[in-house]
Amino acid sequence: MNKQEWYASYSKHLNELGNLVQGWDSYGSDPPSKTAIQDAHAILNILSLISKPPSRIAPLADGGIIIWFNKEGRVECLNNGRITIEIGL
């Protein structure tokens, strides 16, 4: 998949995660906040500049978004606007 394809695919996926509702996972989890979605889009834009596609993007139970990079690490865009980065997991 080239850069434009993976970027478009993940961007669409992030937009779809913005449509999740309360309890989306049957455990009462919060849907991703608008802040988390916006922050994740910003991270995705940065990744597109360096041609580094994530391996997976998923919602977090507390209303955030997680962007995985296989064993290289992850970025969490939290619902309160905080962003955490873990490298080399």
Predicted confidence (pLDDT) at residue 67 exceeds the cutoff of 90: yes
Give the other-Cβ count within 10 Å of 50's Cβ.
7
Tell me the per-residue pLDDT of 20-35, one tens digit each, with 9 for 90 and over.
999 999 899 999 999 9
Tell me the per-residue pLDDT of 74-88, one tens digit each, with 9 for 90 and over.
999 999 999 999 987
* Structure tokens given for 46: 């940065």
- Cα 34 to Cα 81: distance, rounded to the nearest angstrom: 9
Domain of 67 in residue numbering reads as 3-87
Number of domains forming the structure of the chain: 1
Predicted confidence (pLDDT) at residue 89 exceeds the cutoff of 70: no
Q: Kindly report the pTM of this predicted structure.
A: 0.88
Give yes or no for a contact between 65 and 71, defined as CB atoms under 8 angstroms apart.
no
Mean pLDDT of the chain: 92
